[in-house]
Amino acid sequence: MSDDTFPTVRHVTSRRIVAVRGESLEVRDDRVVGEAPLEIRAAGPRQEPVAVAVTMRTPGFEAELAAGFLWTEGLLDGQEVLGTVPGNPAGLSQPDDTIVVRLSRPFDDSKVAERHFVATASCGICGKASIDEVALRAAPLPDGPVVARSVVLALPDLLRAAQRAFDETGGLHAAGLFSPTGELLALREDVGRHNALDKLVGSQVLAGAMPLHDRILMVSGRVSFEIVQKAAVAGIPIVCAVSAPSDLAIETAERLGVTLVGFLRGDGFNVYARDARIDLRDLSGLG
């Protein structure tokens, strides 16, 4: 796993609470997850920044979230991310609530008008395009890798062991990027599952590691259409989750060529789409 420094301010805060446990009452401080809006803007050379979206997120890794969002939403269109610039401290009380992604070519603001981006921490980007439209943005995925069943079964514990902020608050989603042998390469957390994935993808965009064809995505919650489409656009061929996928997530995985694993708990899991990437030859009844 990369030695990233987790954010130390605003992502977790302290609040005074009244805790009731059975017949006892205690007034104490409690650690809670932070949530704040982030305005994502984009600009090419000598271009005024274009407002792209506002998303509710857990503060921290703003550059990765912005870069990952632009990538997974298909808004880069070949532009190279040159860097990011936070908001102006002189004019904003929280300058890290605004970020500008600097691109190698001018940003086409007509794409923003066409997509009508509205984001929240709970549902992600609403009013998504059709699966066919997403397929146009997602390059074909490779046939592999083929992953051992033992590797798949180990992913939830590896993810949970690395969730530092969750241990403090119990209130964050996590997205982890793994190698085909089960090595945890990167992990990001956020109050929104789509933001956690965008931060994770953004870390790889900024590292020049795209596309993610030889990687496994493990998420801590359920799998929605949005998680599958973002993974596919990032080039991730295998998506695993501890909870259930939606029917649209399954349909999208089949259409885009993504292996989709759900209810990954204990010694079992369900493969909902493209099971050829999971090595199950040791199990009875399979040739």
Q: What is the pLDDT of residues 203-220, one digit of tens each?
A: 999 999 999 999 999 999
Mean pLDDT of 52-57: 86
Query: What pLDDT, on the 0 to 100 scale, is given for residue 91?
Result: 52
Average pLDDT, the chain: 82
Q: CB-based burial of residue 215 (10 Å sphere; 0-12 exposed, 13-18 middle, 19+ buried)?
A: buried
Q: Are strands 216-219 and 238-241 parallel, antiparallel or unpaired?
A: parallel
pLDDT higher than 50, residue 75: yes
Confidence of residue 99 (pLDDT cuts 50, 70, 90): very high
Mean pLDDT of 135-147: 87
With residue 53 as reference, give the H or E element that holds it: strand 50-57
Q: What is the pLDDT of residues 13-28, one digit of tens each?
A: 676 766 767 666 677 7
3-state secondary structure (DSSP) of residue 280: coil
Query: What does the alpha-carbon distance between residue 270 and residue 252 come to, in Å, rounded to a whole number?
Result: 16
Phi and psi for 169 in degrees, rounded to 5?
-125, -30
Q: What is the pLDDT of residues 275-285, one digit of tens each?
A: 899 998 888 55
Q: What is the pLDDT of residues 260-270, one digit of tens each?
A: 999 898 888 99
Residues involved in catalysis: 123
Could you tell me where the DSSP H helices lie in 102-192? 110-115, 131-137, 149-162, 164-169
